[in-house]
């Protein structure tokens, strides 16, 4: 070996440098696990929350026409003005609150992006964020990515109603944010006007901000009304209100949503939005703006989904599965304790393998894995899909 060759850099094999994970506790979600198991066993998949039916062809045509009209380049960062105006008009008509489409409405790449952006905009390292267990699985990782500290407050076991006293006890000088979700995933509980007013009173003397996750806003049943945070001045003044066109119009894969918030909050929201997504699919925005001109397209949704809920509940009425109340969303939870002594994860896996129906266990929605022996089914499916699932579930 010559001196020159000895000085050459080492010819070690390429390797990926080690680094510390920002989300060390995050693994494969229960949704992915159950969907893979359902596919393997050719089960009816009532697990993940998306429809198996088509959207209105008129919506596809509206997007097609927007493409043909040349709406295929970047739109304005906050969203297409016509769509922001349509969102503001809808909120005013339904909830009586005026939002400026120029400074208080932003179009997002789905509601999940809207939630993450709101958290990143207002949560600093060490800030506490209250979440109500069980909760949608993006909340906690979003908080941790912002350097915040999740504070889990359980909803009342069994009824899943908000425990205002427990929320009040969890608020500290470090509390920056509270996240609520109504109609609620996974429990299908809907907050009442009285509960929203109680929250309004509770937060009034605090500096706590609010994220109101309202993606199932048009799925409220039995003549009840969705109690948006926009209806309550004390909540609206501190709230980022998240909505989803994907959930509303059966196009979850389009990933388009909206956020409404007071101008001061929205200004901070947009600072983050312009750098984590900048802008959202242009022709889809134009198509949605056109489609929203007819309010019947969302006002008829409660009756549509209530029909599917009623079909599913009627099919299980004489089974050994105990039906929990379903006041909103497109989910039905059942208590299977009369059927099996298994834990909810194990029972859900058994249900796929032996019965041929996939649901989602509730325990993964809790930070501590609280197991009430309950499973969540999604009824946003074709009637034929639901009937096949019911035929199998009635074997239990």
**pLDDT tens digits, 346-378:** 999 999 999 999 999 999 999 999 999 999 999
Share of the chain above pLDDT 90, in %: 93
Multiple choice CATH, 30-49+299-393, 3.30.590.10, 3.90.1150.10, 3.30.565.10, 3.40.50.1820: 3.90.1150.10
Q: Exposed, middle or buried: residue 343 (CB in 10 Å: 0-12, 13-18, 19+)?
A: middle
Q: Residue 177 half-sphere exposure, CB side, CA atoms within 13 Å?
A: 30
CA distances from 138 to 111, 131, 142, 183 (A): 11, 11, 6, 17
Longest dimension (CA), the chain: 88
Report residue 48's pLDDT band, with 50, 70 and 90 as the boundaries.
confident
| Nearest of 352, 376, 356, 355 to residue 366 by alpha carbon | 376
The per-residue b/e assignment along 210-226, b for 16 or more CB within 10 angstroms, e otherwise, is bbbbbbbbbbbbeeeeb
Is 332 within 8 Å of 379 (Cβ atoms)? yes
At 4 the pLDDT is 52
Report residue 2's pLDDT band, with 50, 70 and 90 as the boundaries.
low
At 7 the pLDDT is 53
Mean pLDDT (whole number) for 146-156: 97
- Other CB atoms closer than 10 Å to residue 174's CB: what's the count? 13
- What's the pLDDT tens digit per position in 166-196? 999 999 999 999 999 999 999 999 999 999 9
State the first-to-last Cα distance of the chain, in angstroms, to the nearest integer: 76
Torsion on CA atoms 199, 205, 211, 215, rounded to nearest 10: 30
Q: Give, for 167, the enclosing helix (H) or strand (E).
A: helix 164-170
| Nearest of 233, 302, 210, 254 to residue 107 by alpha carbon | 254
Residue 391, both tokens: 């035929």
Averaged confidence pLDDT in the chain:
95
Report residue 42's pLDDT band, with 50, 70 and 90 as the boundaries.
very high
Mean pLDDT (whole number) for 282-288: 98
Q: Per-domain residue ranges for the chain?
A: 30-49+299-393, 57-293
- What's the pLDDT tens digit per position in 80-117? 999 999 999 999 999 999 999 999 999 999 999 999 99
| Global pTM value | 0.94
Among the listed ranges 24-33, 156-165, 167-176, 210-219, which one has the minimum average pLDDT value?
A: 24-33
Residue 134 predicted with pLDDT over 90? yes
Report residue 242's pLDDT band, with 50, 70 and 90 as the boundaries.
very high
- Tell the CATH topology of 57-293: 3.40.640
At 29 the pLDDT is 87
């Amino acid at each position: 070996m010559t001196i020159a060759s000895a000085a050459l850099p080492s010819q070690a094999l390429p390797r990926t440098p080690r680094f510390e994970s920002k989300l060390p506790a995050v693994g494969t979600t229960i949704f992915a696990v159950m969907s893979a198991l359902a596919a393997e066993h050719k089960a009816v998949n009532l697990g993940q929350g998306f429809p198996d039916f088509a959207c209105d062809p008129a919506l596809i045509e509206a997007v097609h026409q927007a493409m043909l009209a040349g709406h295929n380049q970047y739109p304005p960062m906050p969203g297409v003005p016509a769509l922001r105006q349509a969102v503001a008009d809808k909120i005013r008509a339904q909830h009586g609150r005026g939002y400026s489409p120029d400074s208080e409405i932003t179009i997002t790449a789905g509601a999940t992006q809207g939630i993450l952006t709101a958290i990143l905009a207002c949560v600093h390292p060490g800030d506490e964020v209250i979440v109500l267990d069980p909760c949608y699985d993006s909340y906690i990782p979003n908080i941790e990515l912002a350097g915040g500290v999740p504070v889990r407050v359980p909803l009342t076991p069994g009824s899943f109603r908000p425990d205002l006293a427990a929320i009040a006890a969890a608020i500290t000088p470090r509390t920056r944010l509270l996240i609520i979700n109504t109609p609620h995933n996974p429990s299908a509980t809907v907050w009442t006007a009285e509960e929203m007013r109680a929250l309004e009173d509770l937060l009034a003397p605090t500096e706590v901000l609010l994220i109101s996750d309202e993606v199932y806003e048009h799925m409220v049943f039995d003549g009840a009304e969705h109690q948006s945070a926009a209806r309550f001045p004390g909540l609206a003044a501190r709230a980022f209100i998240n909505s989803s066109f994907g959930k509303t119009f059966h196009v979850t894969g389009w990933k388009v949503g909206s956020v409404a918030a007071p101008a001061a909050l929205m200004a901070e929201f947009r600072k983050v939005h312009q750098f984590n997504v900048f802008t959202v699919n242009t022709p889809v925005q134009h198509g949605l703006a056109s489609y929203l001109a007819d309010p019947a397209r969302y006002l008829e949704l409660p009756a549509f989904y209530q029909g599917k809920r009623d079909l599913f509940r009627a099919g299980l009425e004489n089974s050994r599965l105990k039906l929990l109340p379903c006041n909103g969303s497109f989910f039905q939870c059942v208590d299977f304790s009369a059927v099996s002594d298994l834990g909810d994860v194990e029972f859900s896996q058994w249900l796929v393998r032996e019965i041929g129906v996939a649901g989602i266990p509730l325990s993964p929605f809790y930070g501590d894995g609280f197991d009430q022996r309950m499973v969540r089914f999604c009824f946003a499916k074709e009637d034929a899909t639901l009937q096949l699932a019911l035929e199998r579930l009635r074997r239990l």
